[in-house]
A and B are shown apart, each in its own frame.
Chain A
Amino acid sequence: MNERGAIPLIIFLVLAFVLVLALPAIIMELFPIVKLLFQVMMAFLLYAIVRTYLGSSPLTLIITAILVYVLVFKYTYITSAAWIFQTILMFAGFSVMIWVLGLSLRKH
């Protein structure tokens, strides 16, 4: 693989990834209601994840409470970036980004 054009491709990809991952934080700063909606949604999502592992028990609520405090309230922006990363990855969105950027940067 060579590599004259691959280095600008990496730079463009990193910039595109950073822009996409920073998008939820930007939206939450612009519209505070989105932050509240995201926090509620993440709390339900975390409870569902923990209940899948442990079932409905008091331990589920305790672990969910710890996770909700750390992930939803303390590090909202990092969690939102991780969530959007996982969601886009699930729908192969990053593959599309790589293909589009690669094709548009290729010299014919």
Chain B
Amino acid sequence: MHRLLDSGFGKSNIKKKLELTYMLAPLDLGCFGNIATCFTDLMLVLKIFLLLTIISFVRNHIGTGSLSWVVIGLFAWFILFDYWVFFGGIFLLYTLLAFGVGQLIIDYMFVSQGFGAQPQPGEPESPMGHGMDVLQRMEAAKRMQGVLKPKPPIMMGR
């Protein structure tokens, strides 16, 4: 497991990172910079924000003594350097979910329900297609119980 995680961006892979940087050097995005340097810089920003989170978490629990700095150092070494591939992904997911990206997925799922295929004449309808369908079923049930008056017959030929 450790070897697998270290194969991403571990200490021994600086040469690989440099090779990747040179390989992606032609991919210049103009005002957006270069993909490889952009990726590295944004990862640095993510690490800084994770470091701030660690500092805030440890200070809230231990206080501002010298012990807190030792614990912060241990956490930072473990999370930011040793297992960064694992914790970086989790922190990115946590940040996105905290911003409310999950609600976009939920909204899309609700909206895309309306794009289902219409039932064919022989096929049974969905038990709960939409609000109007539920309202009609409730009215029909009340008419059967005698709560509502039955509908008047439609006069033909007028």
Contacts and interface: CB of A to CB of B under 8 A. Distances in A.
Contact of B108 (A4, A67, A85, A98): A98
A1 B109 contact: yes
A99 B111 contact: yes
A9 B41 contact: no
| Category for how many chain A residues contact B | 35 or more
A1 B41 CA distance: 40
A63 interface: yes
The interface residues of chain B, by DSSP majority, are classed as helix
B48 A63 contact: yes
A95 B53 contact: no
Interface centre among B31, B99, B107, B111 (most CB of A within 10 A): B111
A100 to B, nearest CB: 9
A95 B103 contact: yes
B116 interface: yes
A90 to B, nearest CB: 7
Contact of B107 (A4, A78, A95): A95
A1 B117 CA distance: 9
A15 interface: no
B113 interface: yes
Contact of A50 (B52, B99, B108): B52
A54 B104 CA distance: 32
A80 to B, nearest CB: 11
B44 A102 contact: no
B107 A99 contact: yes
Nearest to A108: B114
Contact of B115 (A2, A13, A75, A86): A2
A71 B99 contact: no
A67 B47 CA distance: 11
A67 B113 contact: no
B104 A2 contact: no
B91 to A, nearest CB: 14
A92 B103 contact: yes
A4 B115 contact: yes
A86 B45 CA distance: 17
Given A53-B56, A75-B32, A89-B101, A9 B115 contact: yes
Interface string B35-57: 00010011011001000110110
Nearest to B37: A74
Interface of A: 1-6, 9, 13, 25, 50, 53-54, 63, 66-67, 70-71, 74-75, 77-78, 85-86, 89-90, 92, 94-95, 98-99, 101-103, 105-106
